[in-house]
Structures are given as structure tokens and as C-alpha cells.
Amino acid sequence: MRAYAVNSFTEPLVEIEGADPQPKGTEVVVEVSRCGVCHTDLHLQDGYYDIGGGKRLNLADRGIKPPLVMGHEVLGRLAAKGPDAPIADSEVGKSFLVFPWIGCGECEVCKRGQENLCAKPGSLGVFRSGGYATHCVVPHPRYLVDVTGVDPSIAATYACSGLTAYSALRKLDIDKENDLLLLMGFGGVGMSGLQVAQGLGYRKIAVAEIDAAKRELALKHGASFVVDPRDAGATAVLAEAGGLAGAIDFVGAKATAEFAIAALRKGGIYIAVGLFGGDITLPLPPLVQRAITVRGSYVGNLVELKQLIELVRTNKIAPLPVESLEFAAVNEALDRLRTGKVQGRLVLAREI
Ligand SMILES: [Zn+2]
Ligand SMILES: [Zn+2]
């Protein structure tokens, strides 16, 4: 097998070669044909998250150490199964989307189906080798999701960007017909957010974005209206549109969080999803008096991914614009993502 790995943090990925993996126990091996490139990979490549105040959350302290094969939007052909893998032989050779947010599988959180919140995560492309490779080992076939009939490049993006948006939207408790929903940031996940929100039936969806070209794109994709959060009048525009009931922050920066939390109407909810980094000060009396909710949402669980694929299958969700690149162009893809000049999602693709 061949893979592209982070050999030392901050450096470009390097190609590595090894023997094809042989599945043990319940493991299955997927021959990778698509792998989406995600903003999270930039943090993994850098080796840290910015947690504000000049402080860093170092990945090495969380047990993430090079060499690291990233890539968590993995789709491919089931190539081999371990002796104890509970999946029919007839499934070998078929294509599947891989659920990457794998936990220990044994704790109460995992047993409740919230593996993405397990205290001992084993996520693909983060804590174990992911899809920037010809082959990817998956610990159990239950993580394989049937996406027959869905374009493989688009299907790959549902494992992270689609699922992250879907799971965050499910945490909102607002009136889909009448309440105003604000999506902050219109990168790949933000765009997924708009499409999934429309698919779920939200009718009043505003998008806040500092890049004029991305604001245009948001309007083209069905946003009710757009704002530049740096405009002095942006908060007033939201208030005039009925007040902000819910905000999903796909950026997760100090400026976006402060803007959205300040703009919430009483009883509103702010959900942080993006990992840009930074910190905020949250005065407590207004939190109480305005009865607002401030919470985070991290990727999503396996049931949510299957629900999302079902929505896609019933044509409720418009496909995300994806641009395909060769696997060998992975460093170029990461660099382009770093400069923020990507509209939609980049997906590495190979025919197998
Ligand atoms: Zn991701
Ligand atoms: Zn667990």
C-alpha cells in the first residue's frame, strides 16, 4: 500500500510505502477511491489548535503523533475482511462510505451510539490511519455505510462536512418555518450547512461571511439573505428579520462567536462547530437574563450519518460542489484550503 503521511508537524505530507494491510479479527480493509480534504487536516498538519490568549492545545499531548495518515472522508471498495468480521462475503468488492468518528466501542457513551463523544477516540485519519492512502483499515464492518446511487465524490463529503452540519442542525430547537437561522462562514462545511438546513425544511436562513464571492455563492445556493459580519449594521439586519433564534458557527473564531452570541434574541441558541480557534469572554448575568444557550457540536454519530444518507437518497439535499484532484496532489489541496480559496469541497479521487 501507499499513503501520504505527516512525518513531522508543519511539514508537507510525504509518500510512504508498506505491505498491504491484512485484516485481523473484526477488521475490514477498504481500498480507497475517494477521500475528502478537510480543514481539520490543517490543524493536524500543524500539530496544534489555537485556544486563545496565545495558548495552544498540542496534539502530541492528546496522543496524536507522527507519522500520521490523515483523511477522514473515506469512500472505497471493501477489499478484505477479517476472520471475525460480521459481513457477508458477497459484500466484498462493493463500495462503501466509512464512518470515521470511531470510539472505543465499549464505554457507555459508545454503547449509546455516541462514539464521536467517546473519551478514548479512535477516529480514522486522526487517531488511526485514514484515507490519504490506497488502503484503510476499519475496525468493524458496522462503520461501512451503503451509499449506492450517490455520486462517490459527493458521498465522501458526507462523512465529515455533511455529518457535522447535520448533527449541529439537529441540536437546534427552533421553528423551521418562521425563526431566523444564521450560518456563519461559507466554506465547505458552511455550504453543507445551507444545503442540509434547506433539506431539513428551514425556510429563513441567513449566511454571514466576510468574503464577497462566498456571499454571492450563498445567495446562489438559496440563502434568504447574506450579511458581512464586519458591517456595523449587520446585527440590525438580523434583528429586523425577526431576531436571531439560532446560529451555527462554522468558523469558530473569536469574532464570529462574539458576533453571533451578541445578535441572538432572548432564548436563542449559538452552536460552535468550526475550530478556527481563539476564546471569548461570556458575562454571566446576560447569559441568564437573555436565557441563551451556548454550546459546541463535534462531528456526528453513525445513526446521524445514516439518517443524512437517507435524506440524500430521497433528494432532499442538493449536492455540494466538489472538485476532484489526484491523491498525489494532496499537498496542493491542503495549501489551497489553507489560503481559503476553495468553493465547496476538495476530494482526492482515483479509479480502482
Ligand atoms: Zn473533517
Ligand atoms: Zn467509548
The string of DSSP letters for 278-337 reads ------HHHHHHTT-EEEE--S--HHHHHHHHHHHHTT-SPPPPEEEE-GGGHHHHHHHH
CA of 87 to the centre of ligand 2 (A): 22
Confidence of residue 164 (pLDDT cuts 50, 70, 90): very high
> Which three cell numbers, joined as nine digits, stand for 195?
444545503
Query: Do 24 and 90 have their domain in common?
Result: yes
CA of 74 to the centre of ligand 1 (A): 11
Q: With pLDDT > 70 as the criterion, what percentage of the chain qualifies? A: 100
Which pLDDT belongs to residue 213?
A: 94
Q: How many Å apart are CA 177 and CA 101, to the nearest integer? A: 32
In order, the DSSP letters of 222-233 are T-SEEE-TTSTT
Q: How many Å apart are CA 133 and CA 91, to the nearest integer? A: 22
Spatial contact of 343 and 220, defined as CB atoms under 8 Å apart: no
Query: Do 325 and 221 have their domain in common?
Result: no
pLDDT in tens, 64-76: 889 999 999 999 9
Query: Do 146 and 6 have their domain in common?
Result: yes
Range of the domain at 90: 2-160+300-349
User: Phi then psi for 161, rounded to 5 degrees?
Assistant: -65, -45
Query: Do 304 and 288 have their domain in common?
Result: no
- Residue 307 within any structural domain of the chain: yes
List the CATH number of the domain containing 187.
3.40.50.720
Other Cβ atoms closer than 10 A to 114: 18
Q: How many Å apart are CA 116 and CA 103, to the nearest integer? A: 6
Identify which ligand lies nearest to the alpha carbon of 275.
Answer: 1
Confidence of residue 130 (pLDDT cuts 50, 70, 90): very high
Which pLDDT belongs to residue 233?
A: 95
pLDDT in tens, 204-229: 999 999 999 999 999 999 999 999 99
Q: Decide which of 251, 275, 296 is a domain's last residue.
A: 296
> Which three cell numbers, joined as nine digits, stand for 94?
462493493
CA of 197 to the centre of ligand 2 (A): 29
Query: Do 46 and 84 have their domain in common?
Result: yes
Of 211, 99, 107, 81, residue with least CA distance to 158: 99
Split into its structural domains, the chain has a count of 2
Identify which ligand lies nearest to the alpha carbon of 71.
Answer: 1
pLDDT at residue 30 greater than cutoff 90 = yes
Average model confidence (pLDDT) for the chain?
95
Query: Do 20 and 145 have their domain in common?
Result: yes
Average pLDDT over residues 77-97: 97
CA of 289 to the centre of ligand 2 (A): 37
CA of 263 to the centre of ligand 1 (A): 27
CA of 300 to the centre of ligand 2 (A): 14
Identify which ligand lies nearest to the alpha carbon of 164.
Answer: 1
Which pLDDT belongs to residue 117?
A: 97
CA of 251 to the centre of ligand 1 (A): 13
pLDDT in tens, 315-341: 889 888 899 999 999 999 999 999 987
Query: Do 266 and 335 have their domain in common?
Result: no
Average pLDDT over residues 171-185: 96
- Residue 231 within any structural domain of the chain: yes
CA of 266 to the centre of ligand 1 (A): 32
Which pLDDT belongs to residue 340?
A: 82
CA of 54 to the centre of ligand 2 (A): 32
Query: Do 141 and 19 have their domain in common?
Result: yes
Q: Please, what is the angle between helix 302-313 and helix 163-170, to 10°?
A: 100
List the CATH number of the domain containing 311.
3.90.180.10
Confidence of residue 150 (pLDDT cuts 50, 70, 90): very high
CA of 161 to the centre of ligand 1 (A): 6
Which pLDDT belongs to residue 62?
A: 85
Identify which ligand lies nearest to the alpha carbon of 274.
Answer: 1
What residues flank ion ligand 1 with Cβ within 5 A?
38, 40, 160
CA of 80 to the centre of ligand 1 (A): 26
Other Cβ atoms closer than 10 A to 344: 20
CA of 119 to the centre of ligand 2 (A): 6
CA of 39 to the centre of ligand 1 (A): 6
- Residue 96 within any structural domain of the chain: yes
- Residue 167 within any structural domain of the chain: no
